[in-house]
Every structure is written in C-alpha cells, then in structure tokens.
Amino acid sequence: MGAGPAGLATAKNLGDADIPYDVVDRHDSPGGVWRYGEPGSTVYASTTMISSRRLIEFRGFAMPADWRDYPTHREALSYLVAYADHFRITPNLELGRGVASVRRCDDGWLVVLSDGTQRLYRGIVLATGHHWDPRSPDHPGTFDGTVLHSGDYRTPAMLAGLRVLVVGGGNSGSDIAVESARIADRTFQSLRHGYHYLPKYFWGKPIDEILAAMERWRFPAGVRRLVCSFISRAAFGDPSSFGLPRPSRRMLEGRVVLNSELVHQVASGAVTPKPGVSRLDGRQVHFDDGTVEDVDVIVHATGFHASVGVDDGGLGLGTTMHLHLVDERHDGVFYAGHIQPSGGTWQLFDDQGAIIAKIIASCSRDGRPSKPVRAVLAAYGPSDYLPPEAGRRGDPLRVDLYRYAALLRRLVRELSADDGLRRDVAP
C-alpha cells in the first residue's frame, strides 16, 4: 500500500525474490510526497532533499552525476518514476485506487479497495508514509488570521507583505522562516527549545557526506560531536548570541537542523526568535516570556502524526511495530518507510524491502515466518537502533540513522543464510 519511495523499494525487492505483488496507491502517479502540487504532496516549490544524492540514491540505480548534490523535488520524482520503470515495477502499479479497509480473515487479509473491489492477500505491506496527517498545536484562544501547516505551504508568495509566525524549528520550519524573511513584512519563529545547526556544505562537501565518513571510519561519538561542534561554530559562531535558545542536549543528540541561512537571517534581524506560544487573541500572539506580537499568518511546522492511514477495524495496525518492519500482533503485516532518521532514508527503505522479502519467503500458509526467521528478528530490539533522546520526545518513528542502517544490513546478512529461509511447513 503506497507507491512512494518505500513502496517502490519494497516492490523491487519482492520482484527480485519472485514474490507476486500488487502496488496500490490512491493517487494517479507514483512518487508519494514528491509529486509537487498534486493531492497528498507536502513539498513546497523550493524543496530539495535534506540528504545528498550519493547517500540517498538506491543501491544499483545511481542518480545522474550532473544533478546537484541535494536534488530538487522534480529530480526526486523523475528518479522514482525511472526507478519504477527500470525494475519493471510500473506494470504492477494500480494508481488511483486507494485502500478502503483491511480485515483479518481465516485465509489472510481481506483488502477492500476504494472502488469496492475485494481481494484476498496472504500479506500486506504498509508503505503509506508519515507526511500526510498534519500535527498542529492546540493553542489556547482564537486567532483571526490565517493558519496553515507546513504541509500546505507552497511558495513564499503566500506570505508576501504579511507578519508571519513560524511555529517549529526543524528543517521545514527553518526553511520556511528563511523564505518568509525575504518577502514578509516581519518574520517570527517560535522555538520551545534550542537546536544545533550545521551548514549543508563544509569544505566544499555536503555535510552528510562528512558525517557518513566519520561513521564509516568509526570515529568515537565524542570525536564526532567535537568535529560537528567545530563546524557549527566555524559557520555560525554562537547562535544563542543572536537570540536563538541554547540546545539542552549535546551535538548529535536530538535533531540537528541542516540549514546554511537561518542563523544569518536571525543575526541580521530578518527572523526574530520567540519562545513558545502561550495563547492567541485575535491577531495578537502572546508568548511564554510575556511579549506580544501582531501576526497575520501562523505556519505550523510541527510535523505529522505517525498514522498508517488504513481502516483496520480497530486492529491497531502501526501501533505495535517490531524493528519498524513487522507487526508484533498480526502475522502477515509488514511496514516499510515508517521511520524518521536524520537523513538517508531511501537506502534504508531498500534494506527494509529486502528483509521483508526474505521474511515472506520463509512464511507458511498462515503468514507466520519460519522459526529461524522469528529467532533472528527476536534477537534485536529498540536498544539496537534508538537514538539517545528516544523516549523523551514522544516520536514513535525516530531511529538513529547509522545504528538502524547497521541493524538492517546485519538482518539482511543473517536472513540470507540458508537456514534462515527454511520454511516450517510446505507452502
């Protein structure tokens, strides 16, 4: 379910394993959120990938060498369409057909499509993404201006000449604040806590390539923090001296914002940092420090709910994921793409798809993986991939990029062993 990057990567791996599959998506073209301007897309006109192309391209299918380091949404979409064509996924795509409901039955899973068609599947893969169900704060009071979520933001023209408040300080919130600063009358950014900032380039290299090199060379965590702190200080100085709140955690613990412009816009006065919002009153916004600002537009850059978006009749799909791959309570239910690392997700999707294909290849008729496969999966848990801040942020999809990548590669190797694929009973 879903023809975005995770769904396409899973389909490719199922095809490689000669496992028959269908891909259904309620939209009329593949690509997921990267279909700018289409229903269900949450990217804005200037969106580029937060990871550089060499670290996000699927293995065995390189992005064109003449593309920019951080591909645009148009390049990302064209790459995904070419990927689907190259690996013969396109003939299996059923576009414009969403999933109305799924129900457990004796022979597997009954899937009802949006046109009323009913199908029986032995297994289902939920690759529905997590950038479609906006999460917005419920501030006390009422606001008489315009309120939008970052998922609804498209171009800075929406903010021209207005007094704009961006709530949230992650990558999207920082991007939108920078764009607003160039065209709005005033731009404020509400931050409840501080962030560490890194430029997208350093020494002529994409910053994520520097981070990946340190991980590959097994730099200790303390050394990596020291290097990144040096890079941040060299690029921006001390952001707190310009009014940005100090981070409460060390560098690389918690989210790091990759943005080369925000600190400079704050330093120049084009973006004014503000604390959390305490209440709304007409066009006035009251903040936790007692200050009040007149605002015309509020943009909530506050993320998305971790929803799978499927009517499951109360089964709770998506709430009990083991390793973000399989359902702990329901055999035959798999997950792809329901993760939120700090970058480089597409290669993780490819590994997730490979693991899912290997698990399915071991399953008996009732959809239960073989005992050797169950033993491999049971040997690992959240402590093998969660970031240091897990449990304090309430984000169920957060994983540590490098630890989770290492776990997936380990699972691929272990499940590739002959005994790992043995079935308990004949299919």
Q: How far apart are CA 344 and CA 73, in angstroms?
A: 15
Neighbours of 162 (CB within 10 A): 18
316, 321, 322, 328: CA torsion to nearest 10: 10
> Measured between alpha carbons, how far apart are the two ends of the chain, in Å?
24
Q: In the block, which residue shows the tokens 């004796």?
A: 106
DSSP state of 136: -
Mean per-residue pLDDT pooled into runs of 10, the chain (427 residues): 98 97 96 94 95 96 97 98 98 96 94 96 95 94 97 97 97 97 98 96 96 94 96 97 94 91 98 98 98 98 92 93 95 95 92 97 83 95 85 74 95 79 46
- Alpha-carbon gap, residue 1 to 8, rounded angstroms: 10
Q: Angle at the Cα of 102 (from 99 to 107), degrees rounded to 5?
A: 130
Nearby residues of 118 by Cβ (< 8 Å), 6 or more positions away: 110, 111, 112
pLDDT of residue 422: 52
DSSP string, 318-379: TSSEETTTEESSSTTEEESS--B-SS-HHHHHHHHHHHHHHHHHH--TTSPPPHHHHHHHHT
Residue closest to 389 by CA, chosen among 196, 260, 201, 243: 196
What pLDDT does residue 390 have?
61
Listed residue (46, 41, 33, 43) closest to 4, CA to CA: 33
Q: What is residue 420's predicted lDDT score, i.e. its pLDDT?
A: 46
Find the radius of gyration of the CA atoms of the chain: 23
What pLDDT was estimated at residue 253? 87
CA angle, 421 then 24 then 329, to 5°: 50
Residues 393, 418: Cα–Cα separation, whole Å: 40
Amino acid at 159: L
The confidence score (pLDDT) of residue 387 equals 86
Which pLDDT score, from 0 to 100, does residue 45 have?
Answer: 96
Structure confidence at residue 134 (pLDDT): 94
Q: How far apart are CA 344 and CA 426, in angstroms?
A: 38
CA angle 147, 265, 202 (to 5 degrees): 120
Q: How far is Cα 95 from Cα 92, in angstroms, rounded to an integer?
A: 9
Looking at residue 289, its pLDDT comes to 97
Count of CB atoms situated within 10 Å of the CB of 50: 19
Spatial distance between the Cα atoms of 206 and 385, rounded to a whole number of angstroms? 25
Query: What domains are defined for the chain?
Result: 5-133+304-421 (3.50.50.60), 141-300 (3.50.50.60)
Closest by CA to 365, choosing from 424, 301, 419, is 424
